[in-house]
């Protein structure tokens, strides 16, 4: 059932190009839901773990493309926060059974908010608590670490956004698919060599790559058991600087666009404090190559393709690091696929 792959996680990583396409189309077909979001005064998204990291990306995309304010909350904290009834609330959960997400969704529904569930599991509990459901097309995910279900959620958000902005869609599917396929083959071995002996690994990015960095760090810590932290690159100097050393490599996303020069500045500051740097950027970026110890190229493309490519690279760095350390990759210690207690 692993289709020749050593682990389900690797198999699921390799399925992501198809999963993106499938999930994007499914979400894009929900034009009524996109219209509801387009006319909303505000959008509130609730989720846990990897699903929360995918939801943070939606915030950046929507605020840039539509200007609609998007609030993203950890489902476990939602009960302590206000629930404005003019917000459309989206609950995101791969399993559809996460207790915190379910109770946050019920709270939003009880306050009179229109609710939408995004889930991968047909008939799961959150589908019964929400007004409407968008299914992601990831198919069953066996590995405890979420990979293709995260990509499916990102695709669902991009599909909804395309509906909200009435955009042309064929280009998105094609560019993201190619970016994923290429990134499945990119050599990440030098990066893995820097990660294996690490005591802590920082993941840093700006803008859309901040949530991607959070997800990269989550994947690394759960399957390799190495402590990893995702940070907005500008925040590193506000505390984490004290931790930087030869034992704390950083995986840094640095791509042309908003914040590129600030990011290079952040990397130089980290380098000066001894941090081994793994850059993820464009292969012809000489400035990035100059400041990093290892530079992993991603194909050129739009923001969605960049996000997908960086995600795949980070998943593969985590996978091969865990493999080198002999971890139980598909079933990491102390973790369950579905968390049904608050």
Binding site for ligand F6R (CB under 6 A): 48-51, 93-95, 98, 101, 145-146, 218, 222, 338-339
Q: Nearest-CB residue to ligand F6R?
A: 49
d(CA 219, CA 222): 5
Residue 66 or 325 with smaller CB distance to ligand F6R? 325
Strands 200-205 and 250-253, how do they pair? Answer: parallel
Residue 93 or 266 with smaller CB distance to ligand F6R? 93
State how far Cα 215 lies from the chain centre: 5
CB of 181 to ligand F6R, least distance (A): 23
Strands 294-297 and 250-253, how do they pair? Answer: unpaired
Residue 217 or 218 with smaller CB distance to ligand F6R? 218
Q: Return the DSSP state at 119.
A: E
Residue 51 or 292 with smaller CB distance to ligand F6R? 51
Residue 126 or 236 with smaller CB distance to ligand F6R? 126
Closest CA to 61 of 174, 136, 159, 134: 159
CB of 89 to ligand F6R, least distance (A): 15
CB of 340 to ligand F6R, least distance (A): 10
CB 164 within 8 A of CB 33: no
CB 258 within 8 A of CB 207: yes
For residue 145 the two structure tokens come to 């670490």
CB of 59 to ligand F6R, least distance (A): 17
CB 66 within 8 A of CB 24: no
Sheet strands side by side (includes 70-74): 70-74, 42-47, 87-93, 115-119, 132-135
d(CA 83, CA 263): 36
CB of 124 to ligand F6R, least distance (A): 9
CB of 48 to ligand F6R, least distance (A): 4
Residue 49 or 216 with smaller CB distance to ligand F6R? 49
Residue 222 or 229 with smaller CB distance to ligand F6R? 222
CB 132 within 8 A of CB 320: no
CA-to-CA dists, residue 209 to 127, 300, 304, 339, angstroms: 30, 15, 11, 27
């Amino acid at each position: 059932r692993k289709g020749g792959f050593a682990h389900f996680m690797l198999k699921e990583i390799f399925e992501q190009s198809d999963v993106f396409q499938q999930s994007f189309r499914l979400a894009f077909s929900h034009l009524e839901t996109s219209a509801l979001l387009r006319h909303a005064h505000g959008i509130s998204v609730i989720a846990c773990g990897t699903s929360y990291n995918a939801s943070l990306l939606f915030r950046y995309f929507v605020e840039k493309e539509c200007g609609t304010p998007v609030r993203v909350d950890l489902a476990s904290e939602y009960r302590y926060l206000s629930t404005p009834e003019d917000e459309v609330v989206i609950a995101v959960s791969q399993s559809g059974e996460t207790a915190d997400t379910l109770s946050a969704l019920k709270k939003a529904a009880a306050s009179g908010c229109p609710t939408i569930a995004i889930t991968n599991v047909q008939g799961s509990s959150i589908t019964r608590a929400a007004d409407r459901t968008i299914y992601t097309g990831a198919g069953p995910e066996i590995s405890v670490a979420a990979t293709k279900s995260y990509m499916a959620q990102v695709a669902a958000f991009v599909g909804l956004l395309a509906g909200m902005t009435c955009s042309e869609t064929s280009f998105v599917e094609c560019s993201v698919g190619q970016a994923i396929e290429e990134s499945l083959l990119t050599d990440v071995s030098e990066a893995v060599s820097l990660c294996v002996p690490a005591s802590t690994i920082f993941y840093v990015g700006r803008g859309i790559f901040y949530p991607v960095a959070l997800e990269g760090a989550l994947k690394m810590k759960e399957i390799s058991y190495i402590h990893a932290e995702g940070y907005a690159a500008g925040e590193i100097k506000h505390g984490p600087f004290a931790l930087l050393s030869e034992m704390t490599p950083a995986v840094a996303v640095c791509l042309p666009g908003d914040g590129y020069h600030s990011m290079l500045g952040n990397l130089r500051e980290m380098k000066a404090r001894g941090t081994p740097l793994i850059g993820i950027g464009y292969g012809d970026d000489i400035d990035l190559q100059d400041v990093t110890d290892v530079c992993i190229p991603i194909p050129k493309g739009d923001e969605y393709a960049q996000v997908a490519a960086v995600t795949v690279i980070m998943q593969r760095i985590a996978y091969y690091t865990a493999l080198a350390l002999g971890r139980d990759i598909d079933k990491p210690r102390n973790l369950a696929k579905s968390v049904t207690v608050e």
